[in-house]
Structure formats: C-alpha cells, structure tokens
Structure 1
Amino acid sequence: MYLATTGRRDAPPTPSGVRRRVPATVLALGTVSLVTDVSSEMVTAVLPLYLVLGLGLTPLQFGFLDGLFNGATALVRLIGGHAADRGGRHKRIAGIGYALSACSRLGLLLAGGATGLIAASLAADRLGKGIRTAPRDALITLESPPEDLGRAFGVHRAMDTTGALLGPLAAFALLWATADAYDAVFVVSFCVGLLGVLLLAVLVPGGARTTTAPPTRAPLRPSAAPRPSAASRPSAVLLRPLAPLRLPAVRRVALATALLGAATIGDAFLYLLLQHRTGLDATWFPFLPLGAAAGYLLLAVPAGRLADRVGRRRPFLYGHGALLLAMALLLAPLPDALLVGGVLALLGIFYAATDGVLMALTGPLLPAGRRAGGLAVVQTAQALAKVAAATGFGAAWTFWGPSTALLLACAGLLAALCCAARLLPAEPPHGRTTP
C-alpha cells in the first residue's frame, strides 16, 4: 500500500491560521532521499582529498573532473524531465535514476584500483541523480499546496541532508570496524541504495496524471499523402525538452540561475581552500562537508517557511549573498577556528536558501503537464554553468594562485547577483499556479 494515494493539488484550500500538514508524498520522497544519500555519501565524502592530495591532481584537473561529473547530468536531466511529463511517469523515471545510482556502487566494488572504472562508476551515480531529480521535484510541486512549496521543499531537503550527514559517519565507522576495508563500504552502500529503491516502490504513489487527451485530427483524403509536420522533424524532437523555455518567466529564471551558477565555485573548492589556508590535517578534512550539511539541515525548513512568507526571490538572492560572504572570508586575516566555522555556517545558509527555494520559485510558473521538464531545464542551466565555473576557477587557481582566483570569483558573483535581481520574475500570488 502506498503511503499517499491522493495529490494535495486537488485538495480544497486550508483556512488561514490553520497549520497544514506536510503532504505524505513529500515525507515518503524525503525518506527515499535520506536512505539514498546515506548510500551515496558513504563513497564520496573523501573524493576531493583523494583526487588532489592522494592522486596529486592539480586544481585545474580537479576543477575539470568536478565540473564534468556535475555537467554529466545536464542532458539526462532534460531527457528524464521530458519523459516523466509524458504520461505522468514521474515515479517510474525517478526509480530508474535511483536504481542506476545504487548499481554504480557495484562498479566501485569491481573497479579495484582502476581509476577509469572508478570514474565511470562515479559518473553513473551522477547520471542516476540527474535522471531522478526533476521527476522527484515535480512530484513535490504537484502534491503540495502552492502556498506551502517552500516548506515542502525545506522538509524534503532537510531529510535529504540528514542522509548526507549519516553517510560519511557510517563510512568512517565501517572503515574503523573493518580495518580500512573499502570493499565493505561499497557493499554496504550498494545494499542501502537498493533499500532506497524499494522504499520508492512501496511508499510513493505513481506519477501525477497530467496528460491531456490528444487533439482530434481531420481524416486525410484518400488521395492526400501525409506530410511530415514541423513537430515530427528530428530537430523539433531534440528540442522538445527545451519547450518550457517558451514561457518568458521560465526563461528569465533559467538565465538568472545560469548567471549565478557561472559565478559559483563548488563547495569542494571551498573545502580545499580552507585546508590550504589553515593547514588542516588530512584526517579532519572529510568532516568539513558535515559542518556545512549540519547548517543546511537546521536551516532548510525555516528558510522554506520564510520563502513562503516573504516570496522566494529574496531568500534565493540572499543565499547567494551568503556564499559571496563565505568567499570573502577566505581572503580575510581571521583565526583558523573562526574562519572554518564562518565559512561552513555561510555555506549551510547558502544551500538552505537556494536549493529547494529555487524549485519552489520555478514550480508555480509551469503548467502541470510540463512541470518535470521545466524544472529540468532550470537545473540543467545551473549544472552547465557550474561546469564552466569549476573549470574556470581551477584554471585561475593554477595559473594565478588562490587569492587572485577568489578575488575574480567574488567580483563575478557580485555582478551575477545584480543581474539576477533584475532578471528574476515576479511570483504569482500564493495559492495559484500556471494552469
């Protein structure tokens, strides 16, 4: 039996002043994400340290690989979102993505020390994430009241981040108990990933029924030969996933998101910069993501509620302002403890105010039948921009040093914030979505 069988989008509005419950589908998806993130973070917690300090990659090489892994999801995001909208197959497409990520752990187990196979397995994990993200987020927007989307995404992201916290801790505990047997980590990660797929199948209802009946066509005359329509041409088929960009508001959100993404250095680079500035011992490096994740976990729901109350544009922009401040702190002559604490706290604020809030901002701008595809377009614009940002920052660090690279990144993010503030569209009134 499914945990939830009806969508909140059809429910009557709740009277003002009455506290609304988080939809059961959101809680179910949050549980799936929590379990899946435990599996994923068990094997990725030490990736930046392993590549840069273990294998000796330069920051330029690491920036290219980090951007490649994030950018590898771009095309599959579009395909996954478009496929989910066709027939309302959100759950099925998301399940494929979760299963692919789980199976990638077997690739790590079989890879041994082969760097190429390890990279392929990590890429498979990212592809699985790219496939599932838009259909999953579309389900959240379709099953939640529009006026509570910020809170719904905040609850989901908080549960997701709980998994991100537990994953590294589970991996370190397992390594300690098995005397650094990495194969054991990969096996346990695979089993936990399969559990996430099973929970999706059992707890989450099928995708939203958002399809409409196909338009009727006049019968062809006996002597008339069918002509290929413009929509059936190969170029038109390839561009179908980009159809949500025809909506002006979605175009503006995608452009603003791309500009901000192109000026956003990855959190992995922030951790490496902290290690570079403070001389942090390699033993403590894997705990840096846990500090940022803890801040995200504590602030995700309050940030979502604030976004529902004051509008989602301002928290989204303020969140990028927190990232700008974190980057600026790395240039300031601060004590090591204050520097580490400040950067991690601001990074947690950045994710809490931007990740789910962006989806809550975009969702109501899209018709229900294009919800997954539209969210995928915005996510893809952000992912592709971050590829350029990671590669560019890595190149600047390699050729000019970390301080110059940070100054350039700060200037770029400040300029992107000014542009995004003018580009982001006004939000529809709470309780209304695009039909």
Structure 2
Amino acid sequence: MESEKESKKQFFGLNSVIFVLGMVSLFTDLSSQMIVPILPLYLTSVLHVQIGTVGIIEGIAESTASVLKFFSGWISDRFGKRKLLMVGGYGLSNLIKPFFALSSTWGQVLFIRFADRLGKGIRTSPRDAILADTTTKEDRGKAFGFRRSMDTLGAALGPFATYLILTLWNGSYQAVFWLSAIPGLIATLILIFSLKDKRNPTKTQISVRTLPKISFKGLNSRFVWFTLITTLFTIGNFSDAFLILRAKDVGMAAQYIPLTYFAYNIVTSIFSTPFGIISDRIGRRPVLIAGYVMFASIYLGFGLVHTVFGIWILFFTYGLYYATTEGIQKSYVADMVPQGQRGMAMGTFNALTGIATLPASVMAGFLWQSFGAFTAFGVSSLIAILSALLLIILRI
C-alpha cells in the first residue's frame, strides 16, 4: 500500500513519517518561540499586568486547552484519520499567534493564548499516536527524541530570530508577532502536502457509543501510577514565563532574554536524541528520575540566583532537563500501552498533566506575589524531589 511504502522511505535513517513530523515541529516551534520569550515582558511592561495575573493567563491557556488532547486522542483512535486533526490543530495555532500584535488588554492576550494552546491540544495526541504506531519499542525512544530535537531546534531558532528582530526594529514587539506568521505557514503547508495518512486498522476496538472519559479503566497499573506521578510533578512545573520574569528580576536586559531561550533550546535539541537512545538501552525510568532530580536542582537555583551569569548557567542546564524528560515520558507511555489504546492513553496522559498546569502557574503566581520568588521556586523543587522518590520507591 502507498502509505506503507511512504513509512518505509528513509531520511537520515528515519522513516518519512517521523522526518516530516520533525520538520513540522521545527517550523511550528520556531514560530511559537519567537513569541514566548517576549510575551511575559509584553504583559508586564507594556500592558502593566501583575505577576499573579500572568500565572492565571498561562494556567488557563495551558490546562483548559489540554483537555482537547484527550478528546483528540479518542477521536483519532475512533476514526483512524489522525492527519485531519493535526492539520486543524497546527493551522489554528499558526494562524492565531500573529494577532498578539493587535492586543491591547490582558483579556485579549488570554483569548489568543488560549486559541493557540487549543490548537496544540487538538494536534498533540494524534501526532504522538502516529509516532508510536510507526515505530517499534526498540527504536521508539530515538523517534520521539528526534521529533523533540527538531521541536527544540525550532524553539532555539525562534528566540534568536526575535533577538534579531528586536535589534533591527528598535525593540518592536509587534514586528515579532507579525513575522512569526511566516514559519507557521511553512509548517502547515509541509503537513498538508507531505504527510501521508492511513486509517488505523484497530479503530473497531472502540465503540461508536463510547464517549471519552478521563479514566484509567482497561489500562494497566504501571500506566496509571506513572501518569499520577507525572501529574504531581507537573503541579510543580509551572510556566516558563516565570523563568523569563526571574531573568528580568535579576537584571538581565529585555533584548537579551530571548537569547537565554535560544541557549536552553539548543542544548535540548542537541541532547534529546542521544538521551532517547540511552533510554532505549538502559530503560526510560532511570533517565526520567535523573531528569526530575535535575529539575529540582535547577528550580532551586532560580530561587537563589542573584546574577545574570547565574541565569545563563541555569538556562543551559534547563535544556538538559528537557532532553531527559519530554520525549522520553511519551515513549514510556507508548511502551506501556498496546497499539489500539495509544491514542486514548496519550490523550489521558496529556490531559491530566495539562490540567495540572493550571494550579501550577496559579500557585506560582500567588507564592511569588505573596512571599517572593524563592518560595515559588522552592516549593516546585520539593514537589520534583517527591516525584522522583515515588518513581524509585514504586519501581514503575
């Protein structure tokens, strides 16, 4: 069949599906990360929004939209056509982001941010299910690591592009917002014209009348415990917007903050595939435990740091944390769940961890505004240590 032939084509040792999804992730994140490093600065400096409100905006946008990851996973399992959902999700995100340039209130920013995350919610679970379905357990870590590497390469180029635009356009945030449309359009066109979809042959396992629920029924205990522990960890993993505000708080000039994002994303891009391969060889759990402990140390550092040099070091090591967790967590879920349930399992996992970002960011905003940055970062560090201990004790 044509779809099977497409999946067997090799690009740099990867099948064509994985390569295309990597390119789509690269250009989408290039577009997104042109905006992310300056949005908290735009909110606090131009719109004069308080830090607590930034937490609410980030929490609502991330957590509410993440419920769509669950529904999109169920729909992709039920109907098998994952590409349609992905085109809708990537298209919505890439079309809506430039309209930040027209926003004049935090409510408008919230709406655009929510629509952007809504698009991510629609596309993420079908994309992860395609990755899982086109790989084996022996090379799945490499595949998820490659997609994450391309994702973070785009995420590194985005802030660098922002730095150049701010320099050339005299610090104009609006110029960054509008120009972010270009890589977003490229990503959407690559997806539409280069990805061959195929119907999931196991779709009949899901009843037409079965509606999606955030439930662990029918899923094994390892997946249940892992999802609960990861959700706990996410409650302490608040929005990166607070890292940006911390850099500004310490004294870093606004035009250089996108370069810290460039640095940590370059590190993540370089190390995601190697850590994915390591997880294929020694297991996912040891790598994830190391990542959680690393996160705890980094966030404690953000709470204690008082110099711009220290901020640079922390952003570099933050890239290593991402390389040891993001793609590997999803590889671990794929290992635990059979093919016919992966869309639903990815949706459940993404929804629960996504919902947890609401209390995470709201809590961080409240703690920072009420007790200071050290308290906010310190609480997150303790939650990460607890999560790592649970992975060790329960031997998930």
TM-score between the two structures when normalised by the length of structure 1 = 0.82
SS in 1 for 2:141: helix
For 2:205 and 2:294, how far apart are their aligned partners in 1? Answer: 47
**8 Å contact 2:140–2:331 — kept in the other structure?**
yes
- Per the TM alignment, residue 179 of structure 1 is displaced from its structure 2 partner at its CA by 5.2
Tell me which residue corresponds to 1:304. 276
For 1:113 and 1:280, how far apart are their aligned partners in 2? Answer: 25
- Per the TM alignment, residue 335 of structure 1 is displaced from its structure 2 partner at its CA by 5.5
Q: Percent identity?
A: 27
Unmatched tracts of structure 1, length 5 or more: 12-19, 216-228, 426-435
Given the superposition, is the C-alpha separation of residues 189 and 266 from structure 1 closer, same or farther in structure 2, using an over 3 Å criterion? closer
Tell me which residue corresponds to 2:123. 132
Given the superposition, is the C-alpha separation of residues 244 and 94 from structure 1 closer, same or farther in structure 2, using an over 3 Å criterion? farther
- Per the TM alignment, residue 112 of structure 1 is displaced from its structure 2 partner at its CA by 4.6
Q: Looking at CA atoms only, which structure, 1 or 2, has the larger radius of gyration?
A: 1
Question: Which of 344, 350, 368 lines up with 1:373 in the alignment?
Answer: 344
Which structure is higher in helix share?
A: 2
**8 Å contact 1:291–1:345 — kept in the other structure?**
yes
Tell me which residue corresponds to 1:432. none
Q: Please give the per-residue CA displacement for 1:396-428, whole angstroms capped at 9, x wherever unaligned.
A: 111112223333332222222212333463xxx
Question: Which of 76, 91, 100 lines up with 1:108 in the alignment?
Answer: 100
Question: Which of 222, 227, 241 lines up with 1:254 in the alignment?
Answer: 227
For 1:332 and 1:125, how far apart are their aligned partners in 2? Answer: 33
SS in 2 for 1:72: helix
Larger mean CA deviation between 48-57 and 197-206 belongs to: 48-57
Tell me which residue corresponds to 1:315. 287
TM-score between the two structures when normalised by the length of structure 2 = 0.90
Question: Which of 344, 366, 371 lines up with 1:400 in the alignment?
Answer: 371
Tell me which residue corresponds to 1:15. none
For 1:333 and 1:213, how far apart are their aligned partners in 2? Answer: 55
- Per the TM alignment, residue 72 of structure 1 is displaced from its structure 2 partner at its CA by 2.4
- Per the TM alignment, residue 195 of structure 1 is displaced from its structure 2 partner at its CA by 2.0
Asked if 1:197 is matched to 2:197, the reply is no
Amino acid at match of 1:297: S
- Per the TM alignment, residue 176 of structure 1 is displaced from its structure 2 partner at its CA by 4.4
Tell me which residue corresponds to 2:53. 61
For 2:104 and 2:125, how far apart are their aligned partners in 1? Answer: 33
- Per the TM alignment, residue 173 of structure 1 is displaced from its structure 2 partner at its CA by 3.1
For 1:361 and 1:213, how far apart are their aligned partners in 2? Answer: 25
**8 Å contact 1:85–1:210 — kept in the other structure?**
no
Amino acid at match of 2:255: T
Could you say what the CA RMSD is over the residues aligned between the two structures, in angstroms? Answer: 2.8
Question: Which of 351, 374, 393 lines up with 1:422 in the alignment?
Answer: 393
SS in 2 for 1:147: coil
For 1:121 and 1:364, how far apart are their aligned partners in 2? Answer: 35
Given the superposition, is the C-alpha separation of residues 418 and 367 from structure 1 closer, same or farther in structure 2, using an over 3 Å criterion? same
For 1:214 and 1:324, how far apart are their aligned partners in 2? Answer: 41
Given the superposition, is the C-alpha separation of residues 64 and 335 from structure 1 closer, same or farther in structure 2, using an over 3 Å criterion? closer
Question: Which of 60, 68, 80 lines up with 2:72 in the alignment?
Answer: 80
Given the superposition, is the C-alpha separation of residues 61 and 420 from structure 1 closer, same or farther in structure 2, using an over 3 Å criterion? farther
Question: Which of 265, 269, 290 lines up with 2:242 in the alignment?
Answer: 269
Asked if 1:99 is matched to 2:91, the reply is yes
Q: Please give the per-residue CA displacement for 1:147-182, whole angstroms capped at 9, x wherever unaligned.
A: 111111111111111111222333343454455665
SS in 2 for 1:255: helix
Q: Please give the per-residue CA displacement for 1:260-282, whole angstroms capped at 9, x wherever unaligned.
A: 11122333223322332x32222
Tell me which residue corresponds to 2:27. 35
Given the superposition, is the C-alpha separation of residues 113 and 334 from structure 1 closer, same or farther in structure 2, using an over 3 Å criterion? closer
Given the superposition, is the C-alpha separation of residues 322 and 273 from structure 1 closer, same or farther in structure 2, using an over 3 Å criterion? same
SS in 2 for 1:330: helix
For 1:187 and 1:275, how far apart are their aligned partners in 2? Answer: 24
Question: Which of 145, 161, 164 lines up with 1:170 in the alignment?
Answer: 161
Amino acid at match of 1:292: Y
**8 Å contact 1:256–1:424 — kept in the other structure?**
no
Tell me which residue corresponds to 2:252. 280
For 1:187 and 1:262, how far apart are their aligned partners in 2? Answer: 33
**8 Å contact 1:244–1:370 — kept in the other structure?**
no
- Per the TM alignment, residue 106 of structure 1 is displaced from its structure 2 partner at its CA by 5.4
Q: Report how many aligned residue pairs link the two structures.
A: 394
The residue correspondences of 1:352-367 to structure 2 (distance < 5 A) are 352-367=323-338
SS in 2 for 1:280: coil
- Per the TM alignment, residue 184 of structure 1 is displaced from its structure 2 partner at its CA by 4.8
**8 Å contact 2:162–2:258 — kept in the other structure?**
no
Given the superposition, is the C-alpha separation of residues 272 and 115 from structure 1 closer, same or farther in structure 2, using an over 3 Å criterion? closer
The residue correspondences of 1:310-349 to structure 2 (distance < 5 A) are 310-332=282-304, 336-337=308-309, 339-349=310-320
Tell me which residue corresponds to 1:221. none
Unmatched tracts of structure 2, length 5 or more: none
Given the superposition, is the C-alpha separation of residues 106 and 282 from structure 1 closer, same or farther in structure 2, using an over 3 Å criterion? closer
Amino acid at match of 2:364: F
Tell me which residue corresponds to 1:17. none
Asked if 1:142 is matched to 2:133, the reply is yes
